[in-house]
Amino acid sequence: MLVNFCRFRKCQIRQLMMTCFVLSAVMIYWESFGNNLSNHVKSYSLRHLLSPFDFISANLTISRGEARKFSDYNYLINHERKCTNRDVLLLLFVKSSPENFERRQAIRSTWGNETYIERTLGVTVRVVFALGLHPQPSQRKKLQQELLREDEKYNDLIQQNFLDTFHNLTIKLLLQLGWTHAYCPHARFLMSADDDIFIHLPNLIRYLREVDRSGVKDFWVGKVHRGAPPIRKKDSKYYVSEDMYPWSVYPDYTPGAGYVVSKDVASRVYQASLTLNASLYIDDVFMGICANAMGISPQEHAFFSGEGRAPYHLCIYNQMMTSHGHVKDFHELWRQATDPEVQRVSSGLLGRLYCTVAKVRLLCVPHFLNTYPCKAAFL
Ligand SMILES: *[C@@H]1O[C@H](CO)[C@@H](O)[C@H](O)[C@H]1NC(C)=O
Ligand SMILES: *[C@@H]1O[C@H](CO)[C@@H](O)[C@H](O)[C@H]1NC(C)=O
Ligand SMILES: *[C@@H]1O[C@H](CO)[C@@H](O)[C@H](O)[C@H]1NC(C)=O
Ligand SMILES: *[C@@H]1O[C@H](CO)[C@@H](O)[C@H](O)[C@H]1NC(C)=O
Ligand SMILES: *[C@@H]1O[C@H](CO)[C@@H](O)[C@H](O)[C@H]1NC(C)=O
């Protein structure tokens, strides 16, 4: 009897260990192939050994006078009355560059069409493009004239006189925060996005209306990078020196490709930016530092893609918020994503079942595509 009992226990333990082993193998497989987050996971654990990030904002705090120098640029093109006397649900800043005329056109005629949104969804959205000056002096004059002509027609460019370069993106963030504070503080949500991102604005508006109705505060949503480490490889675009950022992890942040904040967050992040050293040129990380200084942390939404691209499928269009890395296929994607067929295919019990299976195949089968997480298949 006793012997049997021991055997039984041993067997159970062995089974338990086997299960644990298999589970961890599966998890490691997921991490490295499904998401490739190994770096993040490493520093995520580190992050929890460290205290919260108060010391970062404390360390980067400078006087208001010093901080003002980071955003002290004049407007070359402005529209002070864009939001006046309007109940604006969403102010959407698209970070563009002077030469990206085609991208702006594609946005204006697809998801960025304010008239379309107003007519079909009955809400006011303002889409504006944030720009600096072309870095090449030889091209600047010609491009500047083209920009003025473009703006005369569309009235949607906001430009300041800093050089429009990758390493000046934080200045562009300060432009967006400053402009919102000065000219559109009543917009209920603020979004910042790249000009090669596809935003399913009808889905986003439906979602934000719900959020707005529930009266939330402290709202900051996107894809979330948790415990990401600074890149120390000198040849990387995202290289950050120890001088600029001496710590081993960034506070949680949402990639600049596309994120949304509520107006109270926009206002507090702006306030934080008035006393922080903005020399860190990774704009979305700097946004994370400002938010962190105010005790605000981001929440993840599975259908914000960050740097990833959504698979092309009807069942995805029904829920997608953003998809990154589009330029050529804006029109086609917009047409397909707003097709009434999308609703039809994915509704009803059978439709939902069909879409769950389709999404599992698209999102959960490990491949090397950077897209929505597997859990999005079950939402
Ligand atoms: C995961 O990331 C590492 C380092 O960033 C890279 O070397 C590796 O090729 C990636 N693996 C996959 C499966 O993408
Ligand atoms: C910020 O951190 C750096 C490096 O750790 C240190 O040299 C500097 O004195 C700190 N500054 C403040 C104001 O705490
Ligand atoms: C925006 O949408 C409206 C209404 O659907 C349409 O009349 C207009 O042509 C669209 N604008 C652009 C630039 O496509
Ligand atoms: C950022 O813009 C300022 C003002 O035009 C310019 O002096 C500076 O060189 C730019 N920085 C980078 C890294 O391009
Ligand atoms: C801001 O930080 C940089 C390091 O990234 C430093 O060189 C600079 O002196 C700081 N500015 C102020 C006003 O403290």
Pair (73, 111) in one structural domain: yes
Does one domain contain both 287 and 357?
no
Q: Is residue 10 part of a domain?
A: no
pLDDT of residue 30: 52
pLDDT of residue 86: 92
Q: Are 236 and 356 found together in one domain?
A: no
> What is the domain range of residue 216?
65-300
pLDDT of residue 19: 67
Q: Residue 114 CA: which ligand 3 atom is closest?
A: 1
Question: How many whole angstroms from 376 Cα to the centroid of ligand 2?
Answer: 41
Which of 29, 31, 32, 307 has most ligand 1 atoms within 8 Å of CB, for mutation?
Answer: 32
Asked if residue 58 belongs to a domain, the reply is no
Residue owning the nearest CA to atom 11 of ligand 5: 277
Q: Assess whether 286 and 370 both reside in one domain.
A: no
Residue with the nearest Cα to atom 10 of ligand 1?
36
288 domain-assigned: yes
Same domain for 176 and 106: yes
Q: How many Å lie between the centroid of ligand 4 and the Cα of residue 162?
A: 6
Whether residues 250 and 356 fall in one domain: no
In a domain, 40, yes or no: no
Q: What is the pLDDT along the chain (379 residues), one digit of tens a residue?
A: 444 555 556 666 677 777 666 666 555 555 444 443 444 444 444 444 444 678 898 999 999 999 999 999 999 999 999 999 899 999 999 999 999 999 999 999 999 999 999 999 999 999 999 999 999 999 999 999 999 999 999 999 999 999 999 999 999 999 999 999 999 999 999 999 999 999 999 999 999 999 999 988 999 999 999 999 999 999 999 999 999 999 999 999 999 999 999 999 999 999 999 999 999 999 999 999 999 999 999 999 999 998 888 999 999 999 999 999 887 899 999 999 999 999 898 889 999 999 999 999 999 887 656 789 988 998 8
Q: Which of 253, 268, 300 is the last residue of a domain?
A: 300
Ligand 1 mean position, distance from CA 28 (Å): 13
Asked if 292 contacts 314 with a C-beta cutoff of 8 angstroms, the reply is: no
Judge if 208 and 348 occupy the same domain: no
258: domain CATH number is 3.90.550
pLDDT of amino acid 54? 80
DSSP annotation of 61 reads: B
**Closest Cα to atom 12 of ligand 2:** 59
The total domain count for the chain is: 2
Amino acid letter for position 324: H
149 is a domain residue: yes
Give the predicted TM-score (pTM) of the model.
Answer: 0.84
| Closest ligand relative to 276 C-alpha | 5
Same domain, 173 and 293: yes
Q: How many whole angstroms from 156 Cα to the centroid of ligand 3?
A: 15
Per-residue pLDDT at 325:
85
Instruction: Tell me: do 254 and 339 sit in the same domain.
Output: no
If asked whether residues 130 and 225 sit together in one domain, one would say yes
Chosen domain end from 300, 326, 356: 300
Can you give the pLDDT at residue 34? Answer: 42
Instruction: Say yes or no: 96 and 235 in one domain.
Output: yes
Is the residue at 71 inside a domain?
Answer: yes
Spell out which residues line ligand 5, taking CB within 6 angstroms.
62, 66, 243-244, 277, 279
Among 278, 300, 322, identify where a domain stops.
300
5 falls within a domain: no
**Pair (255, 172) in one structural domain:** yes
Q: Is residue 6 part of a domain?
A: no
Residue 7 confidence (pLDDT): 59
- List, in sequence order, every residue forming a beta bridge with 199; answer none if it has no partner: 322
